[in-house]
Amino acid sequence: YTLSNTPSVLGQESALKVSEALGLEEALALAGENRSELEKVLSGVQASQRESAEFLIANMPPRDLKSLKADFLLSEIEQAHDALQKAPWKDKIPKEIFLNNILPYVNINERRDTWRKDFRERFAPLIEGATTPAQAAAMINQKLFPLVKVKYSTQRAKADQSPYESLQSGLASCTGLSVLLIDACRSLAIPARFVGTPLWSDNSGNHSWVEIWDDSWHFTGAAEPSGDQLDQAWFIGRASTAKRDDLKHAIYAVSFQRTPLRFPMVWDRSIDYISAVNVTDRYTNIGLKIPEGTQMVSFRALDAMSSQRLVAGLKVFDQANQLVAEGKTKNDSFDANDHLHFYLQQGAKYRVEFEAQGQKHQEDLAVADRSVLVDWKASLKANDTPSSNKPSEAGPLEDLKAYLKSPIDVRGPLADQTFSSQALTLEQAQAAEKLLVDEHMARLREARSEEFKQKSIELGGLKMPFGYTVFGEKPANGRSLYISMHGGGGAPAQVNDGQWENQKRLYKLDEGVYVAPRAPTNTWNLWHEGHIDGLFDRLIEDFVLFEDVDPDKVYLMGYSAGGDGVYQLAPRMADRFAAAAMMAGHPNETSPLGLRNLPFTIHMGEKDGAYNRNQTATTWKNLLADLQSKDPNGYEHFVKLHAGKPHWMDRQDAEALPWMKAFTRQRYPERIVWKQDDIIGRRFYWLGTDGQIPDRALAVVQRDAQKFSVEESDLKELTIYLKDDFVNCDQPIAVAWKGQEVYSGTPKRTIATLGETLRRGDPKGAYFAKITMKNPEESVSK
């Protein structure tokens, strides 16, 4: 696919020309130390794809100019071009549409994930038989979300989730759902873009959705398919009343190409680098036939105590007592702005009847000259109320018990409950932890029993089968778990299947569960792609649930390509394991810094010279020795090159298993070295961040009793999670950031923090309190 051979067809919005973007040299100058990476892109890209490279660089946000690497960008460009070349509609996509709505690797401010190749391979079967972009997009919207098991929920971690963040959690807002759908479409050369309004004209809230280009732009709600059609959605009525010249009530489409207009980021108003075009006119002229002289009236039923939306029967009668409309209000499983609505005669009077859970309510309605939202706040009986958001005299613990007894689909987010932010005593926190862990594990046990029986985990549309063997008697604290990754990679499925079968019987234990998973893909990096982290989290959870595994005695190991996985996963998931053993693999670009609190052993054939594996093992031996000499309490390691052995070590590497067995996971280390990899993480031991994460960011934090010191951090924001297992939350805590005090006080134990940290699925990983700090250097610079 050569851009110069494609006709230039522009829509109603301003033409998108590379020459109007930031000058290429200016962009390179803004890249600073990352300039060399961008120059590698320009020198390494195919001549036919040069314009694409220039477009991306000239229009990148500053954060990406300074951080994205050549390999990532070159892969994105190549994959985008190849996908379009193989699309049935390749000759109908104008150059400007390809550049701005297929090629970009990002939509808004979400985390930068490497999704394109993965999504293309996974989701191509979903559009089999499609001949147009619109047809393909409708098929994806119908099939994608059930396949990857992601649904709309206000309990999502944040609005601006990246596609893999949504896949891993299974929950997303309209924003996260839209990002996921757009990326799935772009991976298959379907032009797509992010659209939204900061506030509907009736002030009922904001919303995000997706537009698909097929000769012109068409809209659809993400995870809200309307059969095989586009341009149908619940929000048509509201969109038709948008106000083009009112920044607050207009509708905008995101543009990767720089424009004078900025997309209003209602979830983070500090961000001003997302370009946009105003597309309001297309929605106000959408063709919806609103009866003359009517206004849209929306209806919502709320529980008066919790403010959760309820399903209620609703009838509307005119003054002659004739039924003119009826339906059911929508609960919180629908988008927060999606309400039952009717078009009623302006100036007329009506009687409205609600009914929910045996209670009835009636009120009069006079339709004014504008759209309105009519609420009924239902005071349900105590045993009917899904959950109470009013603290009771009994205290937060009793409120939590009542909350947990209510059905999960009507509870509302735990963090939104008033009792969840109340301060707890140590005894209350411990009791709340037990309640939450027990309920969480019981719910998971019910949900996961079938997948464990089938010995196959599915997450984000990918399946990871596994086989396992149990050895020895179960210790009092639970069994050990050894996760053993097979070799192969970059080979046909049957080759990797054979490697998996071999791995199942490669090692034996004195005690524990030996599990050999089958990689969900057949790529060369099959054990360290972005989806592996979430799959392994789930694998560990399942074995804790069904084989009584001790989460503090989980060990990671792998041979050949599986060894590559150990090199990569061990540093970035160190807080999940007790020790790790790498056999006959290669680390590629990863760093050992994150191994500070994870004992790590390397076993390599002395003559295993392919890819310089043996020399690299010696290099890592020296790296780890140097790190340990500077930090004697960390970087426990054992490296052995087996004399005379090639790639196959005749099972001499099995001595790694008793070496690992001597270690137990360090849940609360005194010092954390958190080094981000190409797959980034938000939590690591008792550290976390919700802020922007620069490429390969490093954070080093030391704990000395009640004092914490951030010695080094590329992160603008850090959260320290606390528990009385390693600090006293009733006593003052002090935090210094590079010598400057950023916190001094007594933290508050809360149910909200317990719930937040338990979501990760580790029954021993919940914390009682947290402290969030900003980098003082950033504050000064602003």
Question: Tell me: the pLDDT tens digits for 112-162?
Answer: 999 999 999 999 999 999 999 999 999 999 999 999 999 998 778 888 899
Residue closest to 50 by CA, chosen among 18, 88, 16, 86: 18
580 close to 549: Cβ distance less than 8 angstroms: no
Among 569, 548, 559, 664, smallest CA distance to 602 is for 559
Q: Can you give the pLDDT at residue 498?
A: 96
* pLDDT surpassing 80 at residue 4: no
Residue 690 has pLDDT above 90, yes or no: no
Give the separation between CA 241 and CA 230, rounded to whole angstroms.
20
Average confidence (pLDDT) over 504-530: 95
User: In this predicted structure, what is the pLDDT of residue 392?
Assistant: 46
Confidence label for 288 from pLDDT (cuts 50, 70 and 90): low
Give the span between the Cα atoms of 365 and 297, in whole angstroms.
Answer: 10
From residue 237, give the alpha-carbon distance in Å to each of 126, 357, 568.
30, 30, 50
Residues in Cβ contact with 60 at an 8 Å cutoff, skipping those fewer than 6 apart:
27, 68
**What mean pLDDT is predicted for residues 527-537?**
92
The 3-state DSSP class for residue 152 equals strand
Cα–Cα–Cα angle for 264, 265, 266, rounded to 5 degrees: 100
- From the number of C-beta atoms within 10 Å of its C-beta (0-12, 13-18, 19+), residue 196 rates as buried
The model's confidence at residue 370, banded by pLDDT at 50, 70 and 90, is confident
Strand partners, 699: 674, 713
What gap in Å lies between CA 463 and CA 278, rounded to an integer? 41
Cα 781–chain centre separation: 30
Phi/psi at 505 (5° precision): -115, 15
DSSP 730: T
235 near 242, Cβ under 8 Å? no
**The domain over range 456-661 is classified in CATH as 3.40.50.1580:** no
**Dist. CA 685–CA 573, nearest whole Å:** 9
Domain(s) of CATH 2.60.40.10: residues in the chain: 294-378
- Confidence class for position 619, pLDDT limits 50, 70, 90: very high
* pTM for the predicted model, two decimal places: 0.61
Q: What is the pLDDT of residues 183-195, one digit of tens each?
A: 999 999 999 999 9
Position 380 confidence tier, pLDDT thresholds 50, 70, 90: low
Q: Return the pLDDT at 290.
A: 73
Q: What is the pLDDT of residue 508?
A: 96
Through-space distance between the first and last CA atoms of the chain, rounded to whole angstroms: 45
Least trusted range by pLDDT, from 41-50, 374-383, 519-528, 591-600: 374-383
Q: What are phi and psi of 574, to 5 degrees?
A: -55, -30
Residues 273 and 280: their CA atoms lie apart, in Å, by 21
Per-residue pLDDT, 688: 94
Start-end of CATH 3.40.50.1820 domains in the chain: 456-661
Query: 174-187 and 133-148 helices cross at what angle (nearest 10)?
Result: 120
Q: What value, to the nearest 5°, has the Cα angle with vertex 676 and ends 670 and 678?
A: 155
Nearest C-alpha neighbor of 757 from the set 698, 690, 693, 688: 688
Which residues fall within 8 angstroms of residue 248, CB to CB, at 6 or more apart? 198, 199, 264
Average pLDDT over residues 643-663: 97
Question: According to the model, what pLDDT value does residue 12 have?
Answer: 34
Kindly give, in sequence order, each residue whose CB lies less than 8 Å from that of residue 25, ignoring residues fewer than 6 positions away: none
Q: By the 8 A CB rule, do 631 and 594 touch? A: no
Which CATH architecture group holds 294-378?
A: Sandwich (2.60)
Q: Which helix (H) or strand (E) holds 196?
A: strand 192-197
Angle (deg, nearest 10), helices 70-85 and 116-123: 30
pLDDT at 333 over 90: no
- At 112 the pLDDT is 93
Predicted pLDDT at 409 = 61
Residues in the chain: 782
Which residue, chain included where needed, has tokens 């597309």? 279
Positive or negative, the CA dihedral 154, 221, 264, 98 is positive
The whole-angstrom separation of Cα 91 and Cα 5 is 9
Using pLDDT thresholds of 50, 70 and 90, give the confidence band for residue 9.
Answer: very low
